[in-house]
Structures are given as structure tokens and as C-alpha cells.
Amino acid sequence: MTGPDFSPDVHAIRSIDAVPVILSMVKHLTGMRFAAVARVTDRSWVACAVDDSIDFGLKPGGELVLESTICHEIRQHRKPVIFGHASAHPVFSLHHTPRTYGLESYISIPIIRANGDFFGTLCAIDSVPANLDEPAIAKTLTLFAQLIAMSLDTQSRLETTKAALVDATEHGRLREQFIAVLGHDLRTPLSAIRLSADLLETKTTEVRSLNLIAAIRNSSTRMGVLIENVLDFARGRMGGGIPVRRQLTDDLGRTLKLTLDEIQASHPQATLIHSLDIPPGIYCDSLRLSQLLSNLLGNAVTHGSPTAPINVRAYAEGDEIVVSVTNQGAPIPAQLMPLLFEPFTRSEAGQRGEGLGLGLYIASQIATAHNGSLNVSSTRETGTCFVARFPAAFKWIR
């Protein structure tokens, strides 16, 4: 029958850089020529680290018969054992351990971890007597034993953290792959729904049916936005950011105006006031900036006051293009502000509303991909204002 494997314990002690120094210091302080860190269980005594100048014969991983050691007793009472001259000692002159191993001097300090578990001992032995009466010796070795115990606890916490990180990373990767596949597969049935709505619209003039068809179309449009957001999120997380294709464009203002018209058509109850004054020759991905504006407007329509207008401005300011969306209503809670551009913030904050909480995250990623920024201010007096800024051109383009 194979005994327990103590190689992890030996490795753990070997991984503590201070242990060789500690063993050397133990020999120096005590004048003894053998020092070790031992793993002691209810059945085994195993050397984890050794500094041997008397050829005692133990190497890391080597074992002694547990019952032949004093560490077996220390494990039970958890107190240090120290004697400097066994043959003259009233107790240890008759003890089997000094007789078995020919010891005259001995010191052993328990190593007890933070949770109360007994790991083993820090010990030193010699075949000649040693002066161990100085109280500083026991105190110093006790501090060394505590240092070893703390190092073992730190290692355990680090290993636990590493394992949790690997597990979380793997779960995150699988989740994002699942999201990407799911988003892709949802496109097909959604296209069928849209085509069916278009077909039904050509075959009826009944008002109630037309209203239902319009509702189906609006819902499918919102679903399409959600799917695209999910796909962008997955692409961004797995590929290092949302991809953009920047090129010189003369009609960014027109593209943004079409986005405004689409939002207005899908939200006829909203009042949109806009001022678009963008010069030609802007280096950008106009479709991605359209998506940025659409996400900001969708957020404003969903969370802003239904009776107050939403103000949209797009203009050049120095070497930058600025796009801002301002809505009125309750200000964004202070505790939510640091999380606002993180994915799934709405669900984490316990808020309800249309969408997955990806819109602002994607908008911020689009701004970042344009070497720009997206910021927000929100007060009861001035409303909530999102401002995106990005360079109008690469600085080396002239």
C-alpha cells in the first residue's frame, strides 16, 4: 500500500527563499551542526529542508520512524522541546530518541499555521552538547517558525487565487464564445421575422393588423440592435477591442442625421433637437460612430424624461470632433457612475430597462478605438450629458 505523498510539502518549503538562510541562522545561533524543517503528521516524519554538517544522512523527502522522534510528542502538546546535554538531563537521559540517534543537544519548535493546523517543526540536533540556556535562542527560533508558517499560508492563498483566476478566465472565455455563437445564430430567425412582417404588410390594409405589424417590426429592430451589441461585445472581448475601419469621409454629418431619423421613427414619442455641423474630410469609421450615437440616443430615450427634449450636437472643436447627447430626468446615481461604461452594468446595478447594459460599453469602446474618449456628467439641474471626443484626423496626416 502506497503511503501519502509529501512532495507538495517538500516543494512548498523549498519555495520559501528564506528557509536556507533560516537553517543556517539556526546552526549559527545554537552552535549545532544539523538543522531541518520537518513535516509531521499523525503517521509520518518527513524532512522538507535540511542543512547537515554531521552527515546525519537525511535529505529532503527522507523519513524517520515517527515514534522514534520527539516531534511526535511535540505534535500532541504543541510546545517547544529544548535540551543541551541529554546524558545529564533528568528526563531526556532516559528518553529513547537521544539514545536511538546518539543525540546530546536538541531543539525543536512547532510550526503552526494560521488556521491552527500543525505543519511540523523547525529543529536542530547534534551529537555533542550545546549551550541552549540563553532565552533569546528559543525566542528567535520561535520567530523563525512563525515566519515559515506565514510563508506557507501566503503560498496557499496565492495558489488558491491563481486557481480561481484560471477558472474565472476559462469560464469567461467560454461565456464569450457562447455569446458570440448565440448572437450569430439569432440573426437567421430574426431575418425571417422581418421578412414575414414586410410580406404581411403588403397583404393587408386593416388598421389593427398594420399596427401589429409595426409593433413586430419595431421589436425586431430592437432585437437586431441587441444582437449586434452582443456580437460587438464578444468580438471586442475576444479580440482586444471593437474593430473599426477608419477612412476619410465627407458625409459624417449626413450619416449621423440618418441615425437620428431612425431613432425618431422608432421612438415617435421622443423629441429630438439636433445641431450637426461637421466639416468634410474626417478620418473615422462613420458607421461605428453612427452606432455610438444610436446607443447614446437609445440610452437617453430609455432613461430620460419622456416629456423633455433630447439635445444632440455634433461639431468640430479645434482638432477634434465632438458628439454630445443630453437628456433631462433623474440624475445617474453616484454609485453607478464608476461602472457606467462597464458591460452588463444595468443588471449588476439592479436596474430595469430595454437591453443588456451593453450600449454604453460599446459606445465607449468605439470612442476608444478612434483614439478618443466618452465621458458623462449628470445633475438634476443640467441633466445627463454624454460627450464623445476623437481626433478629426491622424496627427501625421497633413
Are both 181 and 323 inside the same structural domain?
no
pLDDT at 179: 65
Are both 36 and 178 inside the same structural domain?
no
C-beta neighbour count of 14 within 10 angstroms: 14
User: What digits encode the pLDDT tens for the residues 34-88?
Assistant: 999 999 999 999 999 999 999 998 999 999 999 999 998 999 999 999 999 999 9
Q: What is the mean pLDDT of residues 236-254?
A: 80
State the average pLDDT for the chain. 86
- Domain of residue 223, residue span: 167-239
Residue pair 344/367 in contact by the 8 Å Cβ criterion: no
At residue 264 the predicted structure's pLDDT band, cuts being 50, 70 and 90, is confident
Are both 275 and 372 inside the same structural domain?
yes
Are both 257 and 369 inside the same structural domain?
yes
Nearest Cα neighbor of 227 from 266, 185, 175, 183 is 183
Residue pair 183/230 in contact by the 8 Å Cβ criterion: yes
Are both 139 and 263 inside the same structural domain?
no
* Eight-class DSSP state of 338: G
Q: Report the residue count for the chain.
A: 398
pLDDT at 344: 67
User: Between the ranges 7-11, 206-210, 235-239, where is the mean pLDDT highest?
Assistant: 7-11
Are both 109 and 177 inside the same structural domain?
no
Q: What is the mean pLDDT of residues 361-366?
A: 89
At residue 175 the predicted structure's pLDDT band, cuts being 50, 70 and 90, is low
> Is residue 2 situated within a structural domain?
no
> Is residue 379 situated within a structural domain?
yes
Distances in Å between the Cα of 212 and the Cα atoms of 186, 218, 222, 263, 320 are 22, 10, 15, 19, 44
> Is residue 398 situated within a structural domain?
no
Q: How many domains does the chain have?
A: 3
Give 309: exposed, middle or buried? Use CB within 10 Å, 0-12, 13-18, 19+. middle
User: What digits encode the pLDDT tens for the residues 119-168?
Assistant: 999 999 999 999 999 999 999 999 999 999 999 999 888 888 888 888 87
Q: What percent of the chain has pLDDT over 70?
A: 87
For the record, the C-alpha cell of 180 comes out as 458570440
Residue pair 31/48 in contact by the 8 Å Cβ criterion: no
Q: What is the mean pLDDT of residues 341-370?
A: 71
Q: What is the CATH number of the domain that holds 212?
A: 1.10.287
Picking from 185, 205, 239, the residue at the C-terminal end of a domain is 239
pLDDT at 107: 97
At residue 314 the predicted structure's pLDDT band, cuts being 50, 70 and 90, is very high
Are both 174 and 156 inside the same structural domain?
no
Are both 206 and 294 inside the same structural domain?
no
pLDDT at 39: 96
Bridge-based pairing state of the strands 282-284 and 320-327: unpaired
> Is residue 1 situated within a structural domain?
no
Are both 252 and 378 inside the same structural domain?
yes
What are the b/e assignments for 37-52, b being 16+ CB within 10 Å?
bbbbbeebbbbbbbbb
pLDDT at 352: 44
Integer Cα distance of 68 and 375 in angstroms: 72
Integer Cα distance of 235 and 294 in angstroms: 19
Are both 137 and 189 inside the same structural domain?
no
Question: The pTM is what?
Answer: 0.49
* Eight-class DSSP state of 307: T
Q: What is the CATH number of the domain that holds 315?
A: 3.30.565.10
User: What digits encode the pLDDT tens for the residues 8-45?
Assistant: 999 999 999 999 999 999 999 999 999 999 999 999 99
Residue 220 region by backbone torsions, left for phi larger than 0, else alpha for psi between -120 and 50, else beta: alpha
The CA radius of gyration of the chain, in Å to the nearest whole number, is 36
Integer Cα distance of 282 and 393 in angstroms: 6
Bridge-based pairing state of the strands 310-317 and 282-284: unpaired
Are both 131 and 191 inside the same structural domain?
no
Are both 341 and 362 inside the same structural domain?
yes
Q: What is the CATH number of the domain that holds 145?
A: 3.30.450.40
Lateral strand order in the sheet of 383-391: 272-277, 310-317, 320-327, 383-391, 373-379
pLDDT at 168: 77
> Is residue 397 situated within a structural domain?
no
pLDDT at 398: 37
DSSP 3-state of 105: strand
pLDDT at 183: 61
List 311's β-bridge partners, or say none.
273, 326
